[in-house]
Amino acid sequence: MDRILSNQNNRVKAWAKLATKKGRQENRTYLLDGWHLVEEAVKANAKFHAVMATEEQMQTHLPDVPHGVPAFEISEEVAKHIAGTNTPQGIFAEISLPDKTFDPSYVHDGAWLLLDKIQDPGNVGTLVRTADAAGFKGVVFGEGTADAYSPKVVRAMQGSQFHLEVLTGDLVEWTDALTANNLSVYGSQLNESARSYREIESSTQFALIVGNEGQGMSDELAAKTTANLYIPIQGQAESLNVAIAGGILMFSLASGN
């Protein structure tokens, strides 16, 4: 097993570049930070390119790493450099990005979450994790939504990317295709003239669009939905955080009020 103690090591430089979208696209890999995420990747039979860990973490977890995966013992400073934080967990994995195409015209079942220009990584990751918890089949990242495999989104997803489909796509195309396949497509709006979400019967086959934190769902998408839904506000807050609102709608639509 190689030991790497310097941030100037070429491998360390390559791993650090995975924090950028350009680096991920060039290498077709991304980074997992922490044993929980690495363990989820092991369970999902993800393609590993390397495991990197401090001495303590390596001793604890190396037996659980798939046989034949290159392993590198790294210093605490290297761990901080790779993670981009001062308090990394001390174990990382480099794994392949998913490499798939997905035609929405073939989607005839399941619950789907469509993200329209959701920009905050924490919101994006929380929405994916909540979709996983609510039993959704997949999440589609529309144009302008934060990158699914950026470090902050990956941390917030907490491994849910291994449990459902995580895709990118044109949300207008997806909405048209799902509607043509007789799936209801609901939008979320901060608009009291929209329908209350409580009026909608739960189902196992539908899509939900949630929109940008400040601007909401695009007008083009809003005009194409089966119905646009509103969450009545009982107190004096003007609005709900998009991840909270999305969670309320997902669990209500998928499992009833």
Burial string for 32-54 (b: 16+ CB within 10 Å, else e) reads bbbbebbbbbbeeebbbebbbbb
Arithmetic mean of pLDDT, 139-167: 97
State how many domains the chain has.
Answer: 2
- Cα within 13 Å of Cα(11), Cβ side: 18
pLDDT tens readout for residues 177-190: 999 999 999 999 98
Q: Which of 96, 130, 147 is the last residue of a domain?
A: 96
Task: Indicate whether 202 and 235 sit together in one domain.
Answer: yes
Range of the domain at 27: 2-96
pLDDT band of 255, cuts 50, 70, 90: confident
Name the DSSP letter for residue 212.
Answer: B
Task: Indicate whether 72 and 179 sit together in one domain.
Answer: no
Beta strands in 106-256 (DSSP E): 111-116, 138-141, 165-168, 184-188, 195-196, 206-211, 227-230
Lowest average pLDDT, out of 22-36, 156-170, 188-202, goes to 188-202
Tell me, what CATH number does 61's domain have? Answer: 3.30.1330.30
Count the neighbouring beta carbons within 10 Å of the beta carbon of residue 247.
20
Arithmetic mean of pLDDT, 11-21: 97
Task: Indicate whether 128 and 198 sit together in one domain.
Answer: yes
CA distance 186 to 166: 19
pLDDT mean across residues, the chain = 95
Is the dihedral angle over the CA atoms 142, 146, 150, 151 positive or is it negative?
negative
Task: Indicate whether 127 and 242 sit together in one domain.
Answer: yes
pLDDT at 87: 87
pLDDT tens readout for residues 229-243: 999 988 989 889 999
Tell me, what CATH number does 167's domain have? Answer: 3.40.1280.10
Q: Which of 96, 113, 132 is the last residue of a domain?
A: 96
pLDDT band of 256, cuts 50, 70, 90: low
Predicted confidence (pLDDT) at residue 245 exceeds the cutoff of 50:
yes
